[in-house]
Amino acid sequence: MNEYKPCPKCEATGGKVMSFTWWGGLVGPKILTHVKCPSCGAQYNGKTGKDNTTGIIIYSITVMLLVGIFLIIAIAAVITLMTMG
């Protein structure tokens, strides 16, 4: 019994969740169950056995939105502090 679905390209089993990716850092691949095939190197969703591109796009947009909201709050706080004094 394998923990993750077989590779969608070569049907090899034994894929492992990646510890780090450029788009998700350390957390993203764990959230999306982003598995790398040990045989052909294809990357896919270990839960669905399908391509993870949509998940990566949604994850990236969510992270960008959160960072954007954080920056707006931080800038607003700085402006408030500057105009108060």
Give the interface with Zn ion as residue ranges (CB under 5 A). 7, 9-10, 12, 37, 39-40, 42
Q: How far is the CB of 11 from Zn ion (least distance, A)?
A: 7
Asked if 57 and 23 touch (Cβ cutoff 8 Å), the reply is no
Q: Please, what is the Cα angle at 8 between 61 and 2, to 5 degrees?
A: 100
- Most distant CA pair in the chain, distance: 65
Chain CA centroid to CA 83, Å: 39
Q: How far is the CB of 55 from Zn ion (least distance, A)?
A: 18
Between 4 and 59, whose beta carbon lies closer to Zn ion? Answer: 4
Q: How far is the CB of 36 from Zn ion (least distance, A)?
A: 9
- From 13, 11, 30, select the one nearest 21 (Cα to Cα): 30
Between 50 and 78, whose beta carbon lies closer to Zn ion? Answer: 50
Between 44 and 59, whose beta carbon lies closer to Zn ion? Answer: 44
